[in-house]
Structure 1
Amino acid sequence: MAHLLNTSFASSSQTFGGTPISHRHSSFLVAGAGSTSRLRPRTRAFQESFNFNGVEVVKRPLLCASTFSMGQTLWLISVPFAQASESIKYNAVYEEQVRSGDASATEYFELGAVMLRRKFYPAATKYLLQAIDKWDGDDQDLAQVYNALGVSYVMTGKLEKGITQFETAVKIQPGYVTAWNNLGDAYEKKKEFKSALKAFEEVLLFDPNNKLARPRRDALKEQVDMYRGVPVKSKVKSKEGDFHALSINTKLVPLVF
């Protein structure tokens, strides 16, 4: 369905439109280099590459990687899109099927993916939820819908909901490294560094050479080790009023509030 037939993934080290992807900040993807996911797509094959409103889409047989740039974070989402020259036509067909009530779960997903690429996140969320509600296909394919929904939530600031979708995706498909990468990035944004570290370590269990997860794992491991042993902040009462104090620690370490 959504992103791979022969597990021929878009490498995280390749360039999109001549611009290298930053490994340090790259995240939120649906197909990563060396993924062990065994999803079996069922939609039409795609062949070419095009750029739409600054969103680079790389097309291969049943593989489409779309990047969303937001701040310093690069979100990579692999989704099935229509041929560039016929995208408007296909979108109109999907929308008409939705209006008539004849849209399948796959068509809801494809329309949601189009809305996601266009950054119409509320619409993307709506269609992806409908795809999940109507789903009658393989659970491994369904994991991709949850992953895309997670990205849509996070892009609209609903970080907790996004995390829930990524966790659902990896529960359905434990070897889904791109959802693990997304989960790690979401936890890092939430400043839950131990959980982020665990997610990136899961990626490397399935794909030891994953170029997105390895530098993130290394940086987080160093950070978690540095903050280990920092005392819990406690509230202390004084004559001057309430204030927060830290117990004295012989090892000076930076604190994050």
Structure 2
Amino acid sequence: MDILVPQTYLLGLIALLAIVAVVVGRQLLRVRRDELSLIRLEQDGAASSRNAGQLYELASVQLRKRLYPQATANLRQALKRLSGEPDEARALVENALGFSLAAQKDFQAAVKHYKSALQAKADYPVALNNLAFAQERLLQPEEAAELYRRCLSLEPNNGTAKKRLKRIEQRLSRKPESGNSPEAANGKGF
């Protein structure tokens, strides 16, 4: 019995190390793939000769690498070159541009692009989630809650929308009504 404890410990340690090695290896492969994609896309030609799809692909890699200013510039160029593309393509590019701007804390501009994405494709749950988040950041929780509800009507199992909506509803239910708080009644309100 005394021999089983160290063996169990060693087997557990080996299993844990194997799991960590797999996770780290997958992450390294993902980073390497993104690096190779970025190099390939940057070498494929001058920005003036790229079409909207190539610019979107380049910007997607840049977003994953958190190169937000470069991604924003490429997505703006992609929008200019979207002539003749389906509305779904416009929605994808507008949503990605909104995401890039939101990552740079420009939520006003992000809202504009998320709304454009929804004009191109009204039933786009990702854009609805992103727009709702931007509205939250702009301190408009009622609008954000309505957008999350709309997203859940399209995609009932959307975990992000469920979680964010629950959080907003809890905050709104705790928020005292103006004029009904004890501080306002006593004249001690802000």
Which protein, 1 or 2, shows the higher relative CO under an 8 Å CA cutoff with sep ≥ 6?
A: 1
Task: Give the structure 2 partner of residue 130 of structure 1.
Answer: 77
Which of 45, 48, 68 pairs up with 1:121? 68
Structure 2 CA distance for aligned equivalents of residues 100 and 168 of structure 1 = 24
Change (3 A) 1:97 1:167: same
**1:107-145 deviations in Å (ceiling 9; x for gaps):** 001111111111111100000000111013111122111
**1:47-103 deviations in Å (ceiling 9; x for gaps):** xx9426xxx96xxxxxxxxxxxxxxxxxxxxxxxxxx76544543342234516321
Task: Give the structure 1 partner of residue 169 of structure 2.
Answer: 221
Change (3 A) 1:176 1:100: closer
Structure 2 CA distance for aligned equivalents of residues 103 and 185 of structure 1 = 32
Task: Give the structure 1 partner of residue 160 of structure 2.
Answer: 212
Deviation at 1:224, TM superposition (A): 2.4
Deviation at 1:226, TM superposition (A): 3.6
If you compute each CA radius of gyration, which structure gives the higher value, 1 or 2? 2
Which of 103, 106, 109 pairs up with 2:53? 106
Q: Secondary structure at the match of 1:169?
A: helix
Structure 2 CA distance for aligned equivalents of residues 113 and 100 of structure 1 = 15
Give the TM-score normalised by structure 2.
Answer: 0.73
Structure showing the higher helix proportion among its residues: 2
Structure 2 CA distance for aligned equivalents of residues 214 and 90 of structure 1 = 34
Is 2:151 aligned against 1:203? yes
Structure 2 CA distance for aligned equivalents of residues 135 and 116 of structure 1 = 20
Does structure 2 conserve the Cα–Cα contact (< 8 Å) formed by 1:98 and 1:108?
Answer: no
Structure 2 CA distance for aligned equivalents of residues 89 and 189 of structure 1 = 35
Task: Give the structure 2 partner of residue 152 of structure 1.
Answer: 100
Does structure 1 conserve the Cα–Cα contact (< 8 Å) formed by 2:59 and 2:71?
Answer: yes
Identity rate of aligned residues, in percent? 24
1:2-41 matched pairs, under 5 angstroms: none
Structure 2 CA distance for aligned equivalents of residues 118 and 86 of structure 1 = 11
Structure showing the higher strand proportion among its residues: 1
Does structure 2 conserve the Cα–Cα contact (< 8 Å) formed by 1:108 and 1:127?
Answer: yes
Is 2:110 aligned against 1:162? yes
Structure 1 CA distance for aligned equivalents of residues 171 and 105 of structure 2 = 25
Q: Secondary structure at the match of 1:229?
A: coil
Deviation at 1:159, TM superposition (A): 1.3
Does structure 2 conserve the Cα–Cα contact (< 8 Å) formed by 1:187 and 1:196?
Answer: yes
Give the TM-score normalised by structure 1.
Answer: 0.55
Change (3 A) 1:143 1:224: same
Is 2:132 aligned against 1:184? yes
Does structure 1 conserve the Cα–Cα contact (< 8 Å) formed by 2:111 and 2:131?
Answer: yes
Is 2:109 aligned against 1:172? no
Q: CA RMSD in A?
A: 3.0
Change (3 A) 1:88 1:247: closer
Does structure 1 conserve the Cα–Cα contact (< 8 Å) formed by 2:118 and 2:124?
Answer: yes
